[in-house]
Amino acid sequence: MIKIRKYGYIFMMFMFIIIGFSINFLFEQMDSALKPIEFKDKEIKITHKTYKINNIMDVELLDKVILSGGSGSNTPNTNNGVYKVNGDKFESEVYIHKNVSPFIRIKTKDSVIVFNENKSDETVNTYNRLIYLIKNSK
């Protein structure tokens, strides 16, 4: 009887370790879901959605982002989903690395997108490139 209990405890510990590794792997996969912005001809691709440069109405660089009232995947390093940003009354598509500032907000005819790259200087370079493309597309 004692051997059965001992093997039961060993089995439970093994299961907890497997579950712990699975949760860690899941968080790593969600963190890696944020990909750098891709520039293509007259379009930009942010994660899995493509936006036409002509549809972009405004681009701004934000130092701080406060998210509220939304849904999506939140990991210790990233937010990915639909949220209200900085108290706005509308929801924005958010693809951000939490601990990396600044953030880029793009307003299109249909939606608002807030994102950043995984390094601050890359975000600033992306912002400058977006401004350049928008000015030259009109």
For 86-133, the pLDDT digits (tens) are 888 788 899 898 888 999 999 998 889 999 998 899 999 999 999 998
What's the number of domains the chain is made of?
A: 2
46 CB-near residues (< 8 Å, 6+ apart)? 37, 93, 95, 113, 115
Radius of gyration (Cα) for the chain, nearest Å? 21
- Same domain? 76 vs 87: yes
Cα four-point dihedral sign 69, 20, 28, 63: positive
Question: In this model, does residue 30 exceed pLDDT 60?
Answer: no
What is the per-residue pLDDT for 127?
A: 94
- Same domain? 20 vs 67: no
- Same domain? 13 vs 48: no
What is the per-residue pLDDT for 120?
A: 92
- Same domain? 46 vs 1: no
Q: How many whole angstroms separate alpha carbon 98 and alpha carbon 104?
A: 13
- Same domain? 64 vs 9: no
Q: Average pLDDT of 52-64?
A: 91
Domain region containing 61? 35-137
Q: How many whole angstroms separate alpha carbon 118 and alpha carbon 137?
A: 27
- Same domain? 86 vs 21: no
Bridging pattern class, strands 112-115 and 91-97: parallel
Question: In this model, does residue 9 exceed pLDDT 70?
Answer: yes
- Same domain? 77 vs 20: no
CB atoms closer than 10 angstroms to residue 61 = 17
- Same domain? 44 vs 110: yes
